[in-house]
Structure 1
Amino acid sequence: MTTPFPSGGSLPPVRKRPFMLRWSTWLAAAAVIGYGVAYSMHWDDRGLLWVKERFESPAEQRASVWLPDYHADIDAKALPGMEDDEASDLSYDPQTKTLFAVMGKHPFLVQLTLDGDVLRKMPLNGWSNPEGVAVLEGGRMAIVDERDHTVTIVRVDADTKALNSADFPQYDLGPSKNQNKAFEGVAWEPKRQRLVFGEERPPKLFTWSSDSSGQLSGQKQVLSSDELDLRNLSALGIDPRTGHMLVLSADSNMLLELDQQGQQVSFMTLQGGFNGLNKRIPRAEGVAMDEQGALYMVSEPNLFYRFRKD
Structure 2
Amino acid sequence: MRRSVRLPVLLGLAALLLAGLAAQEFRLFERGWFNLKQWWQPAAQGIGLDRYQVVLEAQPVEGLDDDLSALTYDPDRRTLFTVTNARSELIELSLEGRILRRVPLTGFGDPEAVEYVGPNTYVITDERQQRLILVRLEDTTPFLDAADAEQLSLGIGLNGNKGFEGLAYDSAGRRLFVAKERDPMLIYQIHGFPHRDPKQPYAVHVVQDRKRDARLFVRDLSSLQFDERSGHLLALSDESRLVLELDVEGKPLSSLSLRKGYQGLQATVPQAEGIAMDEQGTIYMVSEPNLFYVFKPLAD
Q: TM-score, normalised by structure 2?
A: 0.89
**How many Å apart are 1:53 and its aligned residue?**
1.2
Superposition RMSD on alpha carbons, in Å? 2.3
Unaligned runs of 5+ in 2: none
- Check the 8 A contact 1:240/1:290 in 2, yes or no: no
Please give the alpha-carbon distance, in whole angstroms, between the structure 1 residues aligned to 2:201 and 2:101: 28
Q: CA deviation at 1:178?
A: 2.3
Q: Deviations over 1:104-131 (max 9, x none)?
A: 2211011111111111111111111100
2:129 is equivalent to residue 184 of structure 1: no
Q: CA deviation at 1:308?
A: 0.7
Partner amino acid, structure 2, of 1:301: P
Encode CA deviations 1:122-175: one digit per residue, 9 max, x unaligned. 111111110011101121100001122211111112222321111211111223
Residue of structure 1 in register with 2:29 after alignment: 44
Does 1:158 find its partner at 2:139?
yes
2:196 paired with 1:212: yes
Q: TM-score scaled by structure 1?
A: 0.86
Q: 1:289 aligns with which of 256, 277, 293?
A: 277
- Structure 1 residue 108 corresponds to structure 2 residue 89: yes
Give 1:8's aligned residue. none
Cα distance in 2 for residues equivalent to 1:203 and 1:81: 33
Equivalent residue number for residue 258 of structure 1: 246
The 1-side partners of 2:202 and 2:288 are apart by 33
Per the alignment, residue 3 of structure 1 pairs with none
- Structure 1 window deviating more from structure 2 (274-283 vs 204-213): it is 204-213
In structure 2, the partner of 1:136 is: 117
Which amino acid counterpart does residue 236 of structure 2 have in structure 1?
Answer: L
Alignment of 1:218-257 (within 5 A): 218-224=203-209, 225=212, 226-257=214-245
Secondary structure of 1:72's partner?
Answer: strand
Q: Say whether 1:69 aligns with 2:54.
A: no
Question: Residue 216 and residue 132 in structure 1: after superposition, are their counterparts in 2 closer, same or farther (change >3 A)?
Answer: farther
Q: Say yes or no: does 1:32 pair with 2:20.
A: no
Per-residue deviation, 1:26? 4.9
**Contact 1:100–1:112, Cα closer than 8 Å, also in 2:** yes
Aligned twin of 1:270: 258
CA distance 1:276–1:24, change in 2 (3 Å):
farther
* Count of paired positions: 291
User: Identity over the aligned pairs, expressed in percent?
Assistant: 36
Letter in 2 for 1:291: E
Gaps of 5+ in 1: 1-14
| TM-fit CA distance, 1:31 | 3.4
Q: Pick the aligned partner of 1:117 from 72, 91, 98.
A: 98
Aligned to 1:78: 60
